[in-house]
Amino acid sequence: MVRDWTAVMPVKRLGAAKSRLRGAVPPARHGDLALAMVLDTVSAVLAAPAVGELLVVTDDPVAAAAVSALGARVAPDRPDAGLNEAMRHGADEVAGLGRPRAVLAGDLPALRPEQLDAALTAARSGRAYVADAAGTGTVLLAVGPGRPLDPRFGPGSAAAHAASGAVPLTGGWPGLRQDVDTPADLATVLGLGAGRHTCELLRELGIEAACVPAA
């Protein structure tokens, strides 16, 4: 498979990230959990043969160092105006319109490389999205060369992406579709099998967790 996709992943400052997930682990470890989920998502993305490069858009120094160590490239969060602007900046300005780009959230700790490959293969020709497991949100938005990303993430983003002309991708891909916003989402992910970083952190905290093999 040709490694031609640039994956783009926005990561909020860890101290402010994943507020709806607060309470899933002790407060002092909340940032560690947010980072562990990012690292599992990054590991799966970098192991996907269709991905040539992963660009992480973040102003968090700890996350930046950790994802760099795994092999991702880091760009600052500009214009520092929220999720859609961070995605647009990474995909259209830093990566550039000349490449196929796919943005995905950094909260997919059960993501498997083959699921991302399948989604990117299905998306190849146009602007396409993958809805989250609930069907209302979006976990991935892909766009071919020459086209702006035009991201519309936020509440109801699946419908917003459809209304903007993006094609919904219909594969099963349970790990790709399962983003973690709440403690209930985390429990679902632990049933699917979380990546090594999330899994080891939870086990350290005495929480039962099924782990998948390292990607």
Ligand X SMILES: C=C(OP(=O)(O)O)C(=O)O
Ligand Y SMILES: Nc1nc2c(ncn2[C@@H]2O[C@H](COP(=O)(O)OP(=O)(O)OP(=O)(O)O)[C@@H](O)[C@H]2O)c(=O)[nH]1
CB burial of residue 103 (10 Å; 0-12, 13-18, 19+): buried
For residue 130, what are the β-bridge partners?
Answer: 140
Q: From ligand Y, ligand X, none, which one binds at residue 19 (CB under 5 to 8 Å depending on kind)?
A: ligand Y
Q: Residue 157 binds which one of ligand X, ligand Y, none, with CB within 5 to 8 A depending on kind?
A: ligand X
Q: What is the Cα–Cα distance from 43 to 6, expressed in whole angstroms?
A: 15
Q: Is 157 annotated as belonging to a binding site?
A: yes
Part of the chain binding ligand Y (CB under 6 A), chosen from 102-110, 118-126, 193-201, 202-210: 102-110
CB 16 → ligand X: shortest distance, Å? 13
What is the maximal distance between C-alpha atoms in the chain? 49
> Which amino acid does the sequence have at 192?
L
Q: Does 41 bind ligand X (CB under 6 A)?
A: no
User: Is 129 one of the binding residues for ligand X (CB under 6 A)?
Assistant: no
> Is position 181 an interface residue for ligand X (rule: CB under 6 A)?
yes
What secondary structure does DSSP assign to 176-200, as a single string?
HH----SHHHHHHHHHH-B-HHHHH
Q: Which is nearer to ligand Y, 17 or 44 (CB)?
A: 17
Of residues 157-186, which lie at the interface with ligand Y (CB under 6 A)? 181
Q: How far is CA 183 from the centre of its chain?
A: 18
Q: Please name which of 104, 105, 99 lies closest in space to residue 148, comparing C-alpha atoms.
A: 99
Whose Cβ is closer to ligand Y: residue 58's or residue 198's? Answer: 58
**By CB under 6 A, is residue 43 in contact with ligand Y?**
no
For residues 179 and 138, is the Cβ–Cβ distance under 8 A?
no
Site for ligand Y in 4-23 (CB under 6 A): 10-12, 17-20
Give the amino acid at 68: S
Q: Which residues bind ligand Y (CB under 6 A)?
A: 10-12, 17-20, 57-58, 77, 82-83, 86, 105-107, 181
Known binding-site residues equal 138, 154, 157
